[in-house]
Amino acid sequence: MSSLSQRSLVHLGMDVHKDSISIGILRPDDSLDVEKIFHDEESVRRFIARMGDPRQLAACYEAGPTGYELDRLLKRLQVRCDVVAPSLIPKAPGDRVKTDRRDCRRLARLHRAGELTAIRVPSPEEEAVRDLCRARGDVVIDLDRARRRLGAFLLRHGRVWRGGSNWTLKHEDWLLGLRFDDPALASTYTHYRSIVEERRLRLQALEADLLLYCEKDPYAEGVHRLCCYRGVDSIGALTLVSEVCDWRRFAKASSFMSFVGLVPSEHSSGERTYRGHVTKAGNEHVRTQLVESAWAYQSGPYVGTRIRRAQEQCPPATRQRAWAAQVRLCGRFRRLAARKNVKTVVATAVARELAGFLWGEMTA
């Protein structure tokens, strides 16, 4: 949209909270008013009705905990709306005052100037599957915390497992054989064990629900293609597909890497160039999945049973790209691990390149 047509619209900068919406109303004559309404559908409908022709309105608000229901409501009312990325909103270095009135006025001005970056709003169906994937991620974190608490309890009382990796079948048998003479300790151990078991069963139930969507449209094709890549199982592929949705909105691989926060931060000026840690901006869920997948490239390239089964459902070109990614990333992991003491840094670097390969696959 041209700047001239932008100035002919009434721009609504909305600062949205659970119970209220502060609205900066920027009119074509540059007058700027502020109204505050209750955050419910009836109040929003009344406000839009008072503003005249909805096709002459352009609204925006920050993505946040209130979700996308306001965006969907405004679009049903024929009001164009952008949900903008909060981390990319320009802010003056000397601005130290933050109020709802100032925020909504600033949003209205920046929206008319075209200085805001809109995000892609998922459909209700896409958001539902995405929330189910995020629920699984929350349970994974809960299970890990419960296991750590149990391990810390046992360590405090001198019960240390030295028979190999934790949470294997041998480790589970060892846990079942533990006994405590003191009734209070025995009760504590029972509670910790029951919490771990309850969260493990909850994780299994969530994964069973998610596997059903791996074979349904519009996810099945993307899941099958991503599963051809090492370190990406069905649940991980569904997480990536449901979070990214439209891979083609990224013009190049570096844009997708930036979206997931795997590019290095940079502070350069004049002759001085400094690059620091990765930005960790953008979608945390995609970034976490990519880093977890990157750990699978520690050993040499090979095609296991899971990958072979996945590749049977995909064209030869996908198999070739997946193998090229394996050769490249396994060698990359090995070379970086020989130079770096911290393996998490290596996994992050490999995850950045893996993001590029997956973007290339989904846009091929």
**Mean pLDDT of all residues belonging to the chain:** 93
- List alpha helices for the chain, DSSP H: 3-7, 41-50, 69-76, 100-113, 124-156, 169-176, 183-213, 220-226, 234-244, 253-259, 284-294, 305-311, 316-339, 343-362
In a domain, 275, yes or no: yes
In a domain, 119, yes or no: no
User: What pLDDT, on a 0 to 100 scale, did the predictor assign at position 88?
Assistant: 86
pTM for this prediction: 0.88
Domain count, the chain: 3
Domain boundary among 80, 113, 146: 113
In a domain, 353, yes or no: yes
For 108-136, the pLDDT digits (tens) are 999 999 999 999 999 999 999 999 999 99
User: What pLDDT, on a 0 to 100 scale, did the predictor assign at position 8?
Assistant: 83
Q: Based on the domain organization, do 182 and 252 belong to the same domain?
A: no
In a domain, 263, yes or no: yes
In a domain, 74, yes or no: yes
**If DSSP codes are grouped into helix, strand and coil, which group holds residue 172?**
helix
Beta pairing, strands 32-38 & 20-26: antiparallel
CATH number at residue 25: 3.30.420.140
Contact 86, 14 (CB under 8 A): no
Q: Based on the domain organization, do 88 and 138 belong to the same domain?
A: no
Q: Based on the domain organization, do 226 and 206 belong to the same domain?
A: no
In a domain, 319, yes or no: yes
Q: Based on the domain organization, do 161 and 291 belong to the same domain?
A: no
User: What pLDDT, on a 0 to 100 scale, did the predictor assign at position 2?
Assistant: 54
In a domain, 148, yes or no: yes
Q: Based on the domain organization, do 52 and 136 belong to the same domain?
A: no
For 6-46, the pLDDT digits (tens) are 678 999 999 999 999 999 999 999 999 999 999 999 999 99
> Locate tokens 């691990």: which residue?
337
Answer yes or no: is pLDDT of 144 > 70: yes
Answer yes or no: is pLDDT of 347 > 70: yes
56 pLDDT band (50/70/90 cuts)?
very high
User: What pLDDT, on a 0 to 100 scale, did the predictor assign at position 143?
Assistant: 97
Tell me how crowded residue 198 is: count the other CB atoms within 10 A of its CB. 13
Q: Based on the domain organization, do 192 and 311 belong to the same domain?
A: no
Answer yes or no: is pLDDT of 1 > 80: no
Q: Based on the domain organization, do 355 and 302 belong to the same domain?
A: yes
Q: Based on the domain organization, do 196 and 242 belong to the same domain?
A: no
- List alpha helices for 183-315, DSSP H: 183-213, 220-226, 234-244, 253-259, 284-294, 305-311
Q: Which residues pair with 12 in a beta bridge?
A: 25, 59
177-182: long-range contacts, CB 8 A cutoff, minimum separation 24: 178/154
Q: Based on the domain organization, do 106 and 131 belong to the same domain?
A: no
In a domain, 118, yes or no: no
281 pLDDT band (50/70/90 cuts)?
confident
Domain boundary among 59, 87, 113: 113
Q: Based on the domain organization, do 205 and 227 belong to the same domain?
A: no
Answer yes or no: is pLDDT of 317 > 70: yes
265 pLDDT band (50/70/90 cuts)?
confident
Q: Based on the domain organization, do 206 and 228 belong to the same domain?
A: no
- Structural domain boundaries, residue 184: 124-213
Domain boundary among 113, 140, 164: 113
Q: Based on the domain organization, do 97 and 151 belong to the same domain?
A: no
Rounded distance between C-alpha atoms, residue 325 and residue 60, angstroms: 40
User: What pLDDT, on a 0 to 100 scale, did the predictor assign at position 244?
Assistant: 93
